[in-house]
Structure 1
Amino acid sequence: MEEANSNNSKAYLIAIIVQLIYTGMFVFSKAAFDHGINTYVFIFYRQAAASILLLPIALVAERKNLRSLLSPRLLLKLFLLALVGITFSLNLYNVSLNFTSATVASAATNAMPAVTFCFALLLKMESVRPRSSSGAAKLAGVSLCLAGVLVIAFYLGPALSPVNHHHAFSTTGAAAAAPSAATSSSRRTWVKGTFLIVLANMAWSLWIVLQGRLLREYPNKMLVTVAQCVFSAVQCFVAAVAAERDFSKWQLRLDITLLAVLYTGLVVTGVTYYLQAWCVEMKGPVFFATWTPLSFVFTMFSSSFFLSEIVHLGSIVGGILLVAGLYSVLWGKSKEANRQIAPCDNNVNTAAAHAADDGEENSNQRHHKAQEKTASATIVEQV
């Protein structure tokens, strides 16, 4: 019981840490794009850095298990997972981030609980009973998450002053991305970017669900993570060459761009993917996805402080709806977990009661036999 509570605490802590790391990813990536690096080249550098970090560690730590990874069927699954959840999702996401802002990208990511829940429901990894309180809470939470995303996307409201006017990372071009200053053309670009973010998050949600199923078949999180990093690095190189054939623009400078590559490659891809795989294996894909609204709250403050992005009232209202949806889904899942544990406890108590009854019955039988032996001995002595 204590071990189960310890694992639950670790899962909650890891989920929060992952969202903090993703906050840094939103801010650093947007700052790098504002400095002019090609998004496809950036993703290739990110995945290459992660592969360089993780591959030697995996070869040393998991050398005894490498043979099991050489199954053509498993390698094909990992290749396709990397293609959908990393190469396609990340490239699409970064193109959309270049069109919008870190706050909007983080806000749109909060549609993941709804999308992941739908995918898990279709793949029969999750179930819902609308008439039960837990099922109604999960559905209400998903609805609140979707409502929050829609509010953020379509309602701006009054603009709030940046937390820090002397921003550290943004450039003059970054300020032009503010929705309040958008022209008709830039507004269409903003809508297109938001649509691309949602599409990228759908691919990401599908990847989370499919990875959860793969880890049941092959539970080695380190090798699964490293194999996908290597596959995605190769795939992203092909995409980057197709998008930017002028290799003079591939050069990294000693500025925020290099810092963003190192952070996203070593910390986000290298560390977070492993922690995420551990969390998905422990608590399931929907549990992990429901924590994504926290990154919106963190990113809204961080982007305002570091990038001097303008935050609107609509973002705050949407954030409140997202947090309400988060805790509604968590409450529903917690209630379902307690309902599943209760029958097990009842069965254990029933078995213990039966065992106690059997023990008492055996004790009585032994007592009667002892009395019979004593009586027999007494009769023999009298004779």
Structure 2
Amino acid sequence: MGIAGVLEDARPAAAMVVVEFIFSALQIFIKLALDDGMDVRVLVAYRLMFGAAFLCPVAFLIERKKRPPLTVKVVTGLFLCGLFGITINQNLIVLAIKLTNSTTIVTALSNLTPQSTFIVAILSRMETLKLKKPSGRAKLTGTLVGLGGAMLLTFYKGPEMKFLRNLGHTGLSHAQGSHQQLRPPPAEGSRILGSFLAITSCFSYAIWLTIQAKVGQVYPCHYSIAAMVCLFGAVQSTLLALCLHRDTDHWRLGLNIRLYSSAYAGIVASGSAFPLMSWCLRKKGPLYVAMFGPLIIVFVAVMSSIVLDENLHIGIVLGAVLIVAGLYMVLWGKAREEDEQEADEPKAKAVGQDEELGKETTAVNGES
């Protein structure tokens, strides 16, 4: 294989590293906007407004000739995708960041999505526990290990790890140093509540994945789905925010971190990272994309320590390690399950052919 072939094979990996870095920076921008006093619900609403304004024209231009007509069933599915995957999920995540005062905790817990999806699939009877097969045992074990890591991360803090903190007294963290010192650390109750909200957001995201998989089968236009889901989420989140904050002070944007965070979240994170991830999905499949998820924990841990001067404790590290270990167990189980299904298909065909042959033989014998 020549250099061109090596570079071609490296493109999906490079794209996923860029995607995870974009999402890591998003967590930092969200935290900075919250530290500036921006309301959780207003931040989510503005993010989705920017995202919808960017994605709707892109979807119209790219898919205008191949977009099938919208039906009531598709619109209902997209509305529910916006509700569970955007409105509920994003509000829970941003509120979790505010309550825990830690982007690292929330980012680590967000890697429970595969385990949450597995649990939702079991509860909705879309999947059954196949404990007699290695794939079923791996997915169950990975789910339990990941949930154990989440509980450890939530309830155990442990001693502080100071080797990254020593790097965090430069740049933006130095500029915000006085603000960081004035803001008291979160109460233990707020930290635990925020952690559970982050876990709940994973289940909301899992419900969205289940619904969107069905919508995608009848409406195979990825950009249009993303644009309409973002639009529904923007409407829902804006109505929610307006119910709680109607004064203009909460909604006013200037040339400050609130505008930069909202624009980055909507245009860069939602608008630019999504096409990259969709391209990787088409090239390598969902398992390949999911394997890069733990990178965001590393990026956010380093960036939070340097930019936000955030404390990193041993409990967070141990919990994150267990969550990542559980994630890879579930992914291995899914990959093994696909191999088992492929291996079972020839056997099923062979059994079917034997049954047909048996019927033909019986018929011949009957005629004789």
Query: What TM-score do you get using the length of structure 2 for normalisation?
Result: 0.80
Distance 1:286 1:243, change over 3 A: farther
Q: Which amino acid aligns with 2:267?
A: L
Give the aligned partner of residue 306 of structure 1.
Answer: 307
Shift of 1:124: 5.0
- Displacement of 1:135 in angstroms is 2.0
Cα deviation for residue 141 of structure 1 reads 1.5
Are 2:47 and 1:43 equivalent residues in the alignment?
A: no
Which residue of structure 2 aligns with residue 363 of structure 1? none
- 1:284 CA drift (Å): 7.8
Q: Which residue among 168, 172, 182 is the counterpart of 2:172?
A: 168
Deviation at 1:324, TM superposition (A): 1.8
When residues 125 and 168 of structure 1 are mapped into structure 2, their CA distance, relative to the original with a 3 A threshold, is farther
Task: Name whichever of 255-264 and 286-295 sits farther off.
Answer: 286-295
Q: In 2, Cα distance between the equivalents of 1:335 and 1:141?
A: 13
SS in 1 for 2:157: coil
Q: CA RMSD in A?
A: 3.2
Match of 1:75 in 2: 75
1:23: how far off? 1.4
How far 1:342 sits from its partner (Å)? 4.1
Moved more, 126-135 or 295-304: 126-135
For each residue in 1:43-76, what CA deviation from the matched residue of structure 2 results, as whole angstroms up to 9, or x when unmatched? 111111111111112222222245x343222112
The alpha-carbon distance between structure 1 residues 344 and 199, as it changes in their structure 2 partners (threshold 3 A), is closer
Q: Aligned pair in 2 of structure 1 residues 171, 35: CA closer, same or farther (>3 Å)?
A: farther
Over 3 Å counting, the alpha-carbon distance change for 1:17 and 1:134 in structure 2 is: farther
The aligned runs of 1:1-383 (5 Å cut-off) are 17-66=18-67, 68-100=68-100, 101-161=102-162, 162=165, 163-168=167-172, 170=176, 172-174=178-180, 181-182=185-186, 186-274=187-275, 292-342=293-343
CA distance in 1, matches of 2:289, 2:182: 34
Cα deviation, residue 259, structure 1: 2.1
Deviations 1:324-376 (A, max 9, x none): 2222222222222333344568999xxxxxxxxxxxxxxxxxxxxxxxxxxxx
Q: Using the alignment, how far apart are the partners of 2:12 and 2:121 within structure 1? A: 19
**Matched-pair contact (CA < 8 Å) for 1:83–1:235:** yes
Matching residue's letter, 1:94: V
Does structure 2 retain, via aligned residues, the 8 Å contact 1:35–1:171?
Answer: no
In 2 relative to 1, CA 71–84 (structure 1 residues): closer, same or farther, beyond 3 Å? Answer: same
Q: Which 5+ residue runs of structure 2 have no aligned equivalent?
A: 1-7, 350-368
Quick one: distance in 2 between partners of 1:290 and 1:272? 16
SS at match of 2:131: coil
Unpaired segments ≥5 residues, structure 1? 1-6, 349-383
Range moving further from structure 2, 193-202 or 227-236: 193-202
- C-alpha distance in 1, partners of 2:152/2:241? 34
Whether the aligned pair in 2 keeps the contact of 1:55 and 1:226 (CA below 8 Å) is yes
> For structure 1, which segment, 217-226 or 190-199, has the greater mean C-alpha deviation from structure 2 after superposition?
190-199
**Contact 1:99-1:193 within 8 A present in 2 as well:** yes
Determine the structure 2 residue equivalent to 1:354.
none
- Of structures 1 and 2, the larger Rg is shown by 1
TM-score (normalizing by structure 1) = 0.77
Relative distance call for 1:313 and 1:32 in structure 2 (3 A) is: same
- CA contact under 8 A between 2:48 and 2:233: conserved in structure 1? yes
Residues 57 and 140 (structure 1), Cα distance of their counterparts in 2 relative to 1, 3 Å cut = same
Q: Report which stretch shifted further, 186-195 or 146-155.
A: 186-195
The percent of aligned pairs where both chains have the same amino acid is: 32
Asked if 1 retains the 8 angstrom alpha-carbon contact of 2:59 and 2:223, the reply is yes
Q: Distance in 2 between matches of 1:239 and 1:20?
A: 30
Give, in angstroms, the shift of residue 126 of structure 1: 4.3
